[in-house]
Structure 1
Amino acid sequence: MSNTINQTIAQELAVRQQQVTAAITLLDDGNTVPFIARYRKEVTGGLDDTQLRTLESRLGYLREMEDRRQVILKSITEQGKLTAELEAAINTADSKTRLEDLYLPYKPKRRTKGQIAIEAGLEPLADSLWNNAGQQPEHAADAFVDADKGISDTKAALDGARAILMERFAEDAGLLEKIRRQLQNNAELTSRVVAGKEEEGAKFKDYFEYNETLKRIPSHRALALFRGRNEGILQVSLNADPGQDENVRGSYCEVMIAEHYGVSLGTQPADSWRKQVISWAWRIKILMHMETELMAALREKAEDGAMQVFADNLKDLLMAAPAGPRVTLALDPGLRTGCKVAVVDATGKLLDTATIYPHTAKARVAEAEATVLALLNKHHVDLIAIGNGTASRETDSFVAALLKANNLKIQSVMVSEAGASVYSASELAANEFPNLDVSLRGAVSIGRRLQDPLAELVKIDPKSIGVGQYQHDVSQSMLAKRLDAVVEDCVNAVGVDVNTASPALLTRVAGLNPTIAQNIVSYRDENGRFDSRTTLKKVSRLGPKAFEQCAGFLRIMGGKNPLDSSAVHPESYAVVKNIAAANGKPLDAIIGNSEFLRGLKAADYTDEQFGLPTVTDIIGELDKPGRDPRPEFKTATFADGVNEVKDLIPGMVLEGVITNVTNFGAFVDVGVHQDGLVHISALSDKFVSDPREVVKAGDIVKVKVMEVDLQRNRIGMSMRLGDEPGQDKPARKAQEPRPAAGSNRSPRQSTPRQQDNGGNAMGGAFAAAFANAKKK
Structure 2
Amino acid sequence: MALIAEQIAQELNVKPQQINAAINLLDDGATVPFIARYRKEATQGLDDNHLRHLDQRLRYLRDLADRKKVILLNIEQQSKLTPSLANEINQADNKTRLEDLYLPYRPKRRTKGQIAIEAGIEPLANNLYNNWQLLPEKEASAYINAEAGFADVKAVLEGASYILIERFAEDANLLQKLRKHLLKQAHLTSTVAKGKQQEGLKYKDYFDFSERLNKVPSHRALAMFRGRNENILQLSLVVDPNNEASSFSSAEQIIFEHYNFRLTGQNAADFLTKTIRLAWKAKLSVHLETELLGQLRERAEAEAIKVFATNLSDLLMAAPAGAKTTLGLDPGLRTGCKIAIVDSTGKLLHTTTIFPHAPQNHWDKSSRTLVNLCQQYNVELIAIGNGTGSRESDTLVAEVIQSLEKDKPQKMIVSEAGASVYSASELAADEFPDLDVSLRGAVSIARRLQDPLAELVKIDPKAIGVGQYQHDVNQSQLSQMLDNVIENCVNNVGVDLNNASAALLARVSGLNKTMAQNVVAYRDEHGRFNNRKTLKKVARLGPKAYEQAAGFLRITDGDNPLDSSGVHPETYPVVEKIIQQLQSDIRSLMGDKTQLSKLSINELIDENFGELTIKDIISELEKPGRDPRPEFKTAQFKEGINTINDLKVGMVLEGVISNVANFGAFVDLGVHQDGLVHISALTDKFVSDPREIVKTGEIVKVKVIEVDPSRKRISLTMRLNDAILSTTEKQQTQHKPQANPTKKPQKNSTNKPNRNKPKPVENAAMGNAFADAFAKLKK
TM interval, shorter chain, is over 0.9
Residue matched to 1:365: 363
Residue matched to 1:750: none
C-alpha distance 707-363 of structure 1, shift in aligned 2 (>3 A)? closer
- Which digits, 9 at most, give the CA deviation of each residue in 1:507-547, with x for residues without a partner? 00000011110000000001010000000000001100000
Alpha-carbon distance in 2 for matches of 1:402, 1:563:
43
Residue matched to 1:393: 391
Residue matched to 2:76: 77
SS at match of 2:33: helix
Q: Cα offset for 1:362?
A: 7.9
Q: Cα offset for 1:363?
A: 6.8
> Of 734, 752, 774, which aligns to 2:760?
734
Matches within 5 A, 1:313-324: 313-324=311-322
Residue matched to 2:100: 101
Q: Cα offset for 1:148?
A: 2.9
SS at match of 2:471: helix
- Which digits, 9 at most, give the CA deviation of each residue in 1:100-135, with x for residues without a partner? 000000001111111111111111110111111112
Alpha-carbon distance in 2 for matches of 1:699, 1:390:
22
Tell whether 2:521 aligns with 1:495: no
Matches within 5 A, 1:470-619: 470-619=469-618
Alpha-carbon distance in 2 for matches of 1:142, 1:678:
72
Q: Cα offset for 1:150?
A: 2.5
> Of 376, 379, 387, which aligns to 1:378?
376
CA contact (8 A) 1:204 1:737 kept: no
Residue matched to 2:771: 764
526-535 or 578-587, larger mean C-alpha shift: 578-587
CA contact (8 A) 1:33 1:49 kept: yes
Alpha-carbon distance in 2 for matches of 1:441, 1:151:
76
Residue matched to 1:742: none
Matches within 5 A, 1:213-224: 213-224=212-223
Q: Cα offset for 1:770?
A: 4.3
Matches within 5 A, 1:103-502: 103-245=102-244, 247-360=245-358, 364-407=362-405, 409-502=408-501
Residue matched to 1:664: 663
Instruction: Tell me the percent identity.
Output: 60
Alpha-carbon distance in 2 for matches of 1:700, 1:602:
42
Residue matched to 1:86: 85
- Which digits, 9 at most, give the CA deviation of each residue in 1:159-207, with x for residues without a partner? 0000000000000000000000000111010001112211111110111
Q: Cα offset for 1:136?
A: 1.5
CA contact (8 A) 1:602 1:619 kept: no
Residue matched to 1:745: none
Q: Cα offset for 1:591?
A: 1.2
CA contact (8 A) 1:656 1:701 kept: yes
SS at match of 2:710: coil
- Which digits, 9 at most, give the CA deviation of each residue in 1:67-124, with x for residues without a partner? 1110000000000000111000000001000000000000011111111111111111
- Which digits, 9 at most, give the CA deviation of each residue in 1:710-738, with x for residues without a partner? 12101110001111222778652112141
SS at match of 1:98: helix
CA contact (8 A) 2:679 2:687 kept: yes
Q: Cα offset for 1:602?
A: 2.8
CA contact (8 A) 2:315 2:452 kept: yes
Q: Cα offset for 1:244?
A: 1.7
Alpha-carbon distance in 2 for matches of 1:764, 1:637:
24
Alpha-carbon distance in 1 for matches of 2:360, 2:533:
59
In structure 2, what residue type is equivalent to 1:387?
G
Alpha-carbon distance in 1 for matches of 2:417, 2:259:
60
Q: Cα offset for 1:478?
A: 1.0
State the TM-score, normalizing by the size of structure 1: 0.95
Residue matched to 1:64: 63
681-690 or 406-415, larger mean C-alpha shift: 406-415
Q: Cα offset for 1:765?
A: 1.8
Alpha-carbon distance in 1 for matches of 2:368, 2:358:
15
Q: Cα offset for 1:465?
A: 0.5
Q: CA RMSD in A?
A: 1.4
Q: Cα offset for 1:403?
A: 1.6
Q: Cα offset for 1:350?
A: 0.5
514-523 or 124-133, larger mean C-alpha shift: 124-133
In structure 2, what residue type is equivalent to 1:422?
V
SS at match of 2:349: strand
CA contact (8 A) 2:8 2:19 kept: yes
Alpha-carbon distance in 1 for matches of 2:394, 2:112:
73
Alpha-carbon distance in 1 for matches of 2:427, 2:8:
40
221-230 or 148-157, larger mean C-alpha shift: 148-157
Alpha-carbon distance in 2 for matches of 1:640, 1:632:
25
- Which digits, 9 at most, give the CA deviation of each residue in 1:259-291, with x for residues without a partner? 101111211111011100000000001000000
- Structure 1: runs of 5+ lacking an equivalent: 740-753, 758-762
State the TM-score, normalizing by the size of structure 2: 0.95
Q: Cα offset for 1:361?
A: 6.5
Alpha-carbon distance in 1 for matches of 2:775, 2:468:
18
In structure 2, what residue type is equivalent to 1:201?
G
Q: Cα offset for 1:554?
A: 0.3
In structure 1, what residue type is equivalent to 2:229?
N
Alpha-carbon distance in 2 for matches of 1:641, 1:248:
66
Q: How many residues align?
A: 751
Q: Cα offset for 1:439?
A: 0.7
CA contact (8 A) 1:511 1:545 kept: yes
CA contact (8 A) 1:738 1:766 kept: no
**Structure 1 runs, 4 residues or longer, greater than 4 Å off:** 727-731
- Which digits, 9 at most, give the CA deviation of each residue in 1:26-85, with x for residues without a partner? 000000001000000010111111111111011111111111110000000000000111
Alpha-carbon distance in 2 for matches of 1:709, 1:14:
50
Alpha-carbon distance in 2 for matches of 1:32, 1:393:
44
SS at match of 1:135: coil
- Structure 2: runs of 5+ lacking an equivalent: 734-753
Alpha-carbon distance in 2 for matches of 1:629, 1:755:
34
Residue matched to 2:745: none
SS at match of 2:143: coil
Residue matched to 1:744: none
Q: Cα offset for 1:504?
A: 0.2
SS at match of 2:771: coil
SS at match of 1:354: strand
CA contact (8 A) 2:307 2:660 kept: yes
SS at match of 2:180: helix
SS at match of 1:711: helix
SS at match of 2:210: strand
In structure 2, what residue type is equivalent to 1:768?
A
CA contact (8 A) 2:334 2:360 kept: no
